[in-house]
Amino acid sequence: MQSDKVVNHIVTELKRYCDNAGLKGFVVGVSGGIDSALTSTLCAQTSKPVIVLNMPIHQLKSQDSLSSRHIEWLRNHYKNVSGNRVDLTHAFDSLSGTLPKKIQDDLTMANTRSRLRVLTLYAIAGHHRYLVAGTGNQVEDFGVGFFTKYGDGGVDISPIADLLKSEVVQLGKYLGILDEIINAPPTDGLWADNRTDESQIGATYTELEWAMAYTDRDSGGELTRRQKEVLSIYRSFHERNRHKMEPIPVIKIPDELR
């Protein structure tokens, strides 16, 4: 991949889309991971105003610290970036106290965290007339559907959704993003026990990239036991999360019923 040309292409498209929408800049939520770090850096390269938000909800100190360090790094390198820390812990706890306890399983509340953050992003974006930039990569958005519907999947534009995870890392290194962010184990930051993406999915992003390529090529040949396991994991996630990746179905009314 030609890092310089890919960066220039993404930045150009971000500026074009923002101008055509008649809006002024971008809002990005950062988690302390490489995906949000790269997205916010690409937005910063447009020279348009960028608001970067760290939105902890009962967050582990390590994740909170990485988000804050990235915001500080961005502000030192790009004068068009402003950063804020919006602690949503109290808001989340208030919502938890309002929702029926019987529906508050771990996954439901993890997704609720994500949706609360996106609500915050859009409140700030709407006030400033900015776009919300998504932080999902190609494997998450179109491979295994590893995102929250109407949470981190609810965005205005997806700058890195055509990049594999390995390509995200490559561009992150090219742009000089902090090593501790590049090397941090990928996590969605939605769980109290700090579980990683790999522990939730059952495969690494390197393995999932292989599975995507294998499926796209419809490759044959002998597979190892682990490759068969990874393919099964990939295909299972892809199928059950297909509703996230496809347009919302519209039930058409037959002409004869009108």
The CATH number of whichever domain residue 81 belongs to comes to 3.40.50.620
What would the two tokens of residue 24 be?
Answer: 């002024």
Helix (H, G, I), strand (E, B) or coil at 153: coil
pLDDT at 220: 65
Characterize the bridge pairing of strands 81-85 and 50-54: parallel
pLDDT at 189: 77
Say how many residues make up the chain.
Answer: 258
In a domain, 208, yes or no: yes
Tokens 């058409």 found at: 252
- pTM metric for this prediction: 0.92
**Which structural domain, as residue segments, surrounds residue 143?**
3-245
In a domain, 48, yes or no: yes
**173-212: b or e for each residue (b if 16 or more CB lie within 10 Å)?**
eebebbeebbebebbbbbbeeebebbebbebbbebbbbbb
> % helix / strand / coil in the chain, to the nearest 5?
55, 10, 35
pLDDT at 63: 73
Give 84's DSSP letter: E
pLDDT at 190: 83
In a domain, 256, yes or no: no
pLDDT at 231: 95
pLDDT at 78: 97
In a domain, 254, yes or no: no
In a domain, 219, yes or no: yes
In a domain, 253, yes or no: no
In a domain, 250, yes or no: no
- Give the span between the Cα atoms of 144 and 244, in whole angstroms: 10
Q: Output the tens digit of pLDDT for each of the chain's 258 residues.
A: 899 999 999 999 999 999 999 999 999 999 889 999 999 999 999 999 999 999 999 887 777 788 999 999 999 999 999 999 999 999 999 999 999 999 999 999 999 999 999 999 999 999 999 999 999 999 999 999 999 999 999 999 999 999 999 999 999 999 999 999 999 888 877 877 778 898 999 999 999 999 999 987 766 678 899 999 999 999 999 999 999 999 899 999 999 999
Domains in the chain, number: 1
Q: What radius of gyration, in Å, describes the C-alpha atoms of the chain?
A: 19
In a domain, 27, yes or no: yes
pLDDT at 219: 62
